[in-house]
Amino acid sequence: MFVVDDLLMAPAHGLLWIFQEIHRAAQEEMVSDAESITAELSALYMRLETGKLTEEEFAAEEKVLLERLDKIHRPGKQIG
């Protein structure tokens, strides 16, 4: 009886595994994106410190990067 149950549930287990892999890949991409934006922010601060950016240019670029970072960390974010 257990063999029959296993055979009948195999497609469901396969689909569950696929969805888990998609979720894992999406999570990894979000972490990678957040790390990239954080690195861009660090470089932006360095450019401000070295005088390569004005305060206005810095503020505009920082706003864009922080909005992107906020979208990644916002609960219920839609992927895609």
Q: Please tell me the predicted confidence (pLDDT) of residue 77.
A: 52
Residue 8 in any domain: the answer is: no
**Domain range holding 64?**
36-74
Residue 65 in any domain: the answer is: yes
Q: What is the mean pLDDT of residues 55-60?
A: 96
CA dihedral 18, 24, 25, 30 (to 10 degrees): 150
Residue 7 in any domain: the answer is: no
Tell me, what DSSP letter sits at residue 50? T
Residue 29 in any domain: the answer is: no
How many CA atoms lie less than 13 Å away from 23 in the CB half-sphere?
Answer: 6
Residue 56 corresponds to which tokens in the numbers above?
Answer: 């206005």
pLDDT, tens only, 9-55: 888 888 999 999 999 999 999 899 999 999 999 999 999 999 999 99
Residue 64 in any domain: the answer is: yes
> 10 Å Cβ neighbour count for 30?
15
Domain count, the chain: 1
Residue 45 in any domain: the answer is: yes
- Distance separating alpha carbons of residues 6 and 1, to the nearest angstrom: 9
